[in-house]
Amino acid sequence: MSSECREGGSAVGLEGGPVPGEDGRLRCPWAATTEDYAHYHDTEWGRPVRGDDALFERLCLEGFQSGLSWLTILRKREAFRAAFAGFRIAAVAAFTEADEARLLADSGIVRNRAKISAALSNARVLAEWEPGALDSLVWSHAPEPAPRPPRTLGEVPATTPESKALARELKSSGLRFVGPTTAYATMQAAGLVDDHLAECWVRGLPQVR
| Residues recognised as catalytic | 40, 62, 70
Long-range CB contacts (within 8 A, 24+) of 127-132:
127/89, 127/90, 127/93, 129/52, 131/52, 132/52
Q: How far apart are CA 3 and CA 91, in angstroms?
A: 29
Closest of 145, 126, 140 to residue 57, by C-alpha: 126
Report the half-sphere exposure of 6 (CA within 13 A, side-chain side): 12
Q: How far apart are CA 128 and CA 87, in angstroms?
A: 16
Closest of 48, 77, 46 to residue 61, by C-alpha: 77
The 10 Å Cβ neighbour count of residue 137 is 16
**What ranges make up the beta strands (E) of 29-168?**
none
